Each structure stands twice: as C-alpha cells, then as structure tokens.
Chain A
C-alpha cells in the first residue's frame, strides 16, 4: 500500500511548486547557475588537462629528452675567430646511459644539422635529423605516405630521406613525392616517406622535431656531414663540434622516469666539465599540468561554491517565507493528524525537488557553456560523467541542507496558533 509513497510525495511537492511557477523558477535560478558553473568549470579544467596530456603523450610519457646546449662560457669564446667550440652529448654518453640504467630500454641518438635542400628550382632551408628507426617508434609519428626509416637503411648508410608533410609540400608542391631525389647540402637522397607535421611546442619543452625536418639514418649523417659544422655569419666563421644534438631516452615504466632522469643528470655532471646539456622530462610537465589543474579547480571551485551557497540561501529564504505563508495549512495538517516529521518531510521534499530540478537545468547549462567555449574561444572542454554525478549530488545536498531549517520550523508550528493564523 505504501510502495508508491515516495513517488507520490515527490509528485505532491511538484504540484505545490507549480502553484507558484514564477517564484519557483526564480528560486531555482541560484542553483541553476551554481551547478552550471560547477559543470562548466570542471569541463574546462578537464579539457585543458586532456589537451596537455595529449601533447605530452606525443613526446612520450616514458621518454626523457636530453638536448645539447652551448654553455655560457662557450658562447662568449665562440666570438673569437676560427675557434672551434666542442660541447654537447657524445656517442659515449649514449652508450653509458644505455648500459648503466637497467630501466632504460634505449637511448635514441639524434643529430641535427641545418642544410639547404634543393629540388629542381626550389630551395629550402631544412633541419636534417640524423637518427635511428626507433625515433619513429618513440615519438609515434603518423606516416602520410611511403615508409619510415628502417634498420637496413642504418646498416647501409643509405641515401634516403623521410620528409615532413609540410616540408615536402614546400619543396615539391606536386604529387609523386616518393621516389624523387632531393639534394641536401651536397648529397643526394631518395625520398622514401612523408611523415605528418607536428607543430610547435608542448608546454615549454620544444618538440624534438620542427615543421621542416628531413630524417635520414644517423650513420648517413655522420658519414656525409661529419660531426663538425661550420657556419658563416657576418664575416666570421663559427665551427662547432657536436657529436649528438639530442638523445631520446626511453624508460621502461612511468614510475621510473624521474629516478632515471636524476641518475642521468648525475652521470652527465660527472663526465661533462660544463653544463652543456639540458634534461627535459615530459612526465614532469604532466605533473605540473596536473598541479595547475588542481589549483584551477580549487579556485574556480570556490567561486562556484559561493554561487551555490547564494543559491542555497535563496532557496532557504523562499522556503521560510513559504512556511510563514502556509502556517495555517500546517495547522490544518497537524490537526488532521500529520506528525511533525511528516510536515518536515513535506517541506523538505519541496526544497529537494526545487534544488534538484535547478540542478538538472544547471547541468544543461553546464553542457551548453563548455560547448560555446569550445566554439567561440577554441578551448577544449570535456564534460565527464563524474562531474555530472557530482553536480546532482551537490544540488540534492543543497536542498537538504538549506531546506532542513525551514522544514523543521514548519513542523514546530503550534497547531492551535497556526489554525488561528490569517
């Protein structure tokens, strides 16, 4: 007989709220905006962190990137004429890293050389990236056409090259790219593959490749260009001896990345007189992104909480007014035999229905706002089920917390006085 009681009570609450549609709507607005801002805020935070995660994922979460840099002293000396600066990572560093750390799966060497490429009438400054086939495996680059570098290329020191999509377009601007021969700084290469361009930066770590790269086997790079590069700038000649410009170290598990990075730092410090290297850990960047997201959530969360609080107080205010307005009704119900807790329940159900309805509309708003943010501001947003469930929970709690006092007050109305109330 009582199985539908809850549903019926909720329905009675809805009926009562519908008697004053405008008042109910206005009362709900506080919760609508509060919940809406919670959902929207969480979605923006989630979107930002997801984007950061994707960018970091491209560099590889288990990778450590070590780059050669010119130390400060070297920089000042290099102005001297015909001085050759020697700095950066060495082939030995690579072997040491691979052999010393058991958590290191491999260290992929990278030589970076600026060369101008020529194909028919077109000239293009590009960055020659001499590396091993593993490079493609580590950085998860998508192929547009042709193939990646292969082990056999390394072995043969083949004169082949993989271009980026962007570079290929600049250089060739035609189809049938694969198989064409391109001259890069005096040597000829056959184009075997086109890889998708990956633009720019992830956070503040520079991506290991740029827009216009030409990937060749590192053995070929060594053989054809050597380790010494010469640059002529405004009359002076700059000579540099750098064995490896970059190394991408793959670690077996995320948990070991930070300890291995520390170890590498200690090791390099011992073998390098000057700090001519820089260690970047994408994972650290992820941690940083997460910390930023947390801060973001706390700050925006408190603002959203304040608006929810204001919404809750609005509801409480209206419910207190409603209790006064309906004092006589309460008296009648009590005289008929309603218990105190039934009166409490009646008013509480009304408040919870009010705040939950507000919450549901708020979720709608919270879905709409991120959608508009994505369209108009171009920011990525992700609405998670978790945030929706959280919002429903919050709105029900608001109903209970702010409805309890008016409801208890209603229940404690003296029926005799209430019946005389005009």
Chain B
C-alpha cells in the first residue's frame, strides 16, 4: 500500500476530495453524478450528507467508501491517494480503515450474528479465538451479547442494524460510513441507532452519514447539502 506523505503535516485531515468528477455513460448521454466536488472531512467529526435523490450523495458515499473510482480529480484517504491504487490495495484500504453501515443492513443471512461480526477479522487474518472474543466484546457494546448464535432473520430491524454496526467496528476503523442507516427502521428504533452513532462519534470515530431527512441530519455536527452533483452549502453547528 503506497502511503502518500504529502499531507502528513495535516494529521487531523482524514479525507480529502479535490475537484472530483464522476461521470457515467448512459447510452449516448453522459451523466455527471459528481461535477467537480472539493471537500475535506476532518478526524473526529460527524457529517451528514443531505440531498434529494439524484443529487449525487450516494455516488459521493461510494467514492468515499472506495467502492467506486473517481473519473477525474483526486481522493485522499488517510494519506493514501485512492485514485492511483489498484483493486487489491483499495480492498485493503476498506478492510483496515473503513466501516460500513447500510440502509438494508447487509448482513449475510446464512451466518450467525457472531460470524457476521467476525467477517472483517476473517479477512484481516485473525484466528478463531481472538475473533470470537472480539465479536463478543462488540456485541456487548451494541447490546446484543444474548443474540450471538442467532441468524439475522431472527432479529428485529433495530437489532440487525446493531449487528451491522458491531461488524463495522470490528476492524476498529477511524471512519464509519453510514448510508441512510435509519431508512428501514421505525422512528423510535432509528433514534436509538442514531444515538449509538453519536456515542461512537464521541468516542472518536469520524462518521459520514448520507440521509435525505433533515431531522436526522440535524444530529450531525456538520451538514453537506448536495444538488445535481455539486455541493450546495456546508453547515456547521
């Protein structure tokens, strides 16, 4: 993994996008999902990216999560120039630096809660006992230590999202990326999940959350409004 030292002086600047374009070819037409975005996310902050559908917020999150590549521009994640990396190195980056929380939880249905939580550790090469210990610890942290042997289908939505959060924390990343984390939950449960995210932020995790609800976005310290692939405004508390 190539480590870029040029922004090393700016230790708390975790993520930086410089003039990023993401262009999709849709038949004859070119669709600019991101049309020149420059923004940086500092360590320890809690961001919300808000915008209507088609505003480019999901594309933004995919790029931040190293699932998608920029068409042009530069994306730096923890001093690594992601735009220059090959697929293996990008996978490694996801494995070591990022945790994902999805709207639809994305747990693997045939695996137990414990196995789901252990998944990143498996790819990190941890052995079985260490992984199990870590899974128990994380389950306790999200209040699900009783459910380790259950399969996702046996859990409620809120519980599934807690498992997903536990899994996102397994590799102890500095950055958590959440894509509409409360989108499939009722408001009370959603509130609990947001509360959990807030706690995690207070414990030092940098959180970037995509949402289309301004109520939810209000929980974040910083809000990035997007429209038509561009950043409209940036609000800070």
Binding site for B on A (CB under 8 A): 1-2, 4-5, 8, 16, 19, 328-329, 331-342, 415-416, 419
Is B106 a contact of A339 with CB atoms below 8 Å?
no
Instruction: A87 to B190: give the CA distance in the assembly, Å.
Output: 113
In the complex, B68 has a CB within 8 A of chain A: yes
Q: Does B102 contact A (CB under 8 A)?
A: yes
Give chain A residues whose Cβ lies under 8 Å from the Cβ of B110.
16, 19
Which of A2, A5, A419 is in CB contact (< 8 Å) with B106?
A: A419
Within 8 A of A (CB), among B168-185: 171
What's the Cα separation between A341 and B92 when bound, in Å? 12
Specify the main secondary structure of chain A where it touches its partner: helix
B1 interfacial contact with A, CB 8 Å: no
Q: Which residue of A lies closest to B170 (CB)?
A: A336
Contact flags B112-149 to A (C-beta < 8 A → 1, else 0): 00000001100111111000000000000000000000
A371 to B216, CA, bound (A): 73
- Contacting residue for B88 out of A1, A340, A416, CB 8 A: A340
Distance between Cα atoms of A340 and B120 in the complex (Å): 15
Contact of A335 among B94, B127, B128 (CB under 8 A): B94
Interface contact tally, CB-CB below 8 A: 65
Which residues of chain A are within 8 angstroms of B93 by Cβ–Cβ distance?
337
Say whether B88 contacts A339, CB under 8 Å.
yes
Contact status A337-B91, CB under 8 Å: yes
- Mask for B94-106, Cβ within 8 A of A = 1, else 0? 1110101010001
Given A332-B119, A333-B123, A339-B92, output 4 extra A-B contacts at Cβ < 8 Å. A8-B128, A337-B91, A337-B95, A337-B120
Contacts of B123 in A (CB 8 A): 333, 336-339, 342
Can you identify 17 A-B contacts, CB atoms within 8 angstroms?
A1-B125, A2-B125, A4-B127, A16-B110, A329-B108, A332-B106, A332-B107, A333-B108, A333-B123, A334-B91, A336-B119, A337-B93, A337-B120, A337-B124, A339-B87, A340-B88, A415-B67
Interface positions of B from 59 to 100, Cβ below 8 Å from A: 62, 65, 67-68, 87-88, 91-96, 98, 100
Q: Separation in Å of the B189 CB from the closest CB of chain A? A: 22
Tell me the B207-227 residues at the A interface (CB within 8 Å).
none
Which 6 A/B pairs are nearest by Cβ-Cβ distance? A337-B95, A337-B94, A339-B91, A332-B106, A336-B120, A339-B88
Q: Which residue of A lies closest to B96 (CB)?
A: A337
Cα(A335)–Cα(B125), bound, Å: 17
- Cβ contact within 8 Å between B62 and A5: no
Q: Which residues of A contact B120 (CB under 8 A)?
A: 336-337
A5→B91 contact, CB < 8 A:
no
Using CB atoms, name the residue of chain B closest to A328: B106
Partner of B119, one of A8, A333, A339, A341: A333
Which chain B residues lie closer than 8 Å to A19 at the CB level? 110
Chain A contacts of B167 at CB under 8 A? 336
| A1 in complex: contacting residue of B102, B108, B127, CB < 8 Å | B127
| Given A332-B106, A335-B94, A5-B125 contact (CB < 8 Å) | yes
How long is the Cα–Cα vector from A342 to B107 in the complex, in angstroms? 19
Task: Give Cα distance in the complex from A251 to B107, angstroms.
Answer: 78
| Residues in chain B near residue A415, CB distance under 8 A | 67
The CA of A416 and the CA of B66, in the complex, are separated in Å by: 10
A3: nearest chain-B partner, CB-CB: B127
Name the interface residues of B12-66: CB closer than 8 Å to any CB of A: 62, 65
Q: Which of A337, A339, A419 contacts B102 (CB 8 A)?
A: A419
Q: Which of A19, A331, A333, A337 has the most CB of B within 10 A?
A: A337
Distance (Å) between the CB of B222 and the closest chain A CB? 24
CA gap between A337 and B68 in the complex, in Å:
13
CB distance from A411 to the nearest CB of B (A): 10
Q: A16-B110, A19-B110, A416-B67 are in contact. Are A335 and B126 (CB under 8 A)?
A: no
A92 to chain B, nearest CB (A): 87
| CB-defined contacts of A336 to chain B, threshold 8 Å | 94-95, 100, 119-120, 123, 167
Q: Which residues of B contact A416 (CB under 8 A)?
A: 62, 67-68
- Nearest to A15 among chain B residues (CB) is B110
Please give me the residue from chain A that is nearest to B124 by CB atom: A337
Least CB distance, B8 to chain A, in whole angstroms = 24
CA distance A408 to B28 in the complex (A): 31
Q: In the bound complex, what is the Cα–Cα distance between A337 and B167 (angstroms)? A: 12
Complex CA distance for A196 and B71, rounded to whole angstroms: 92
A409 CB to nearest chain B CB (Å): 16
CB distance from B169 to the nearest CB of A (A): 12
- Give the docked Cα–Cα distance between A334 and B68 (Å): 12
Minimum CB distance partner of A338 in chain B: B123
Give B154-201 interface residues, CB cut-off 8 Å to A.
Answer: 167, 171
Distance in angstroms from B125 CB to nearest chain A CB is 5
Residues on the A chain within 8 Å of B92, using CB: 337, 339
Nearest chain A residue, comparing its CB with the CB of B171: A337
**Least distance between B236 CB and chain A CB atoms (Å):** 29
Q: Which residue of B lies closest to A16 (CB)?
A: B110
Q: In the complex, what residues of A have CB within 8 A of residue B62's CB? A: 416
Contacts of A335 in B (CB 8 A): 65, 67, 94, 100, 106
CB distance from B78 to the nearest CB of A (A): 14
Residues of B within 8 A of A8 (CB): 128
Contacts A332-B106, A335-B67, A336-B119 known; A1 to B126 CB distance under 8 Å? yes
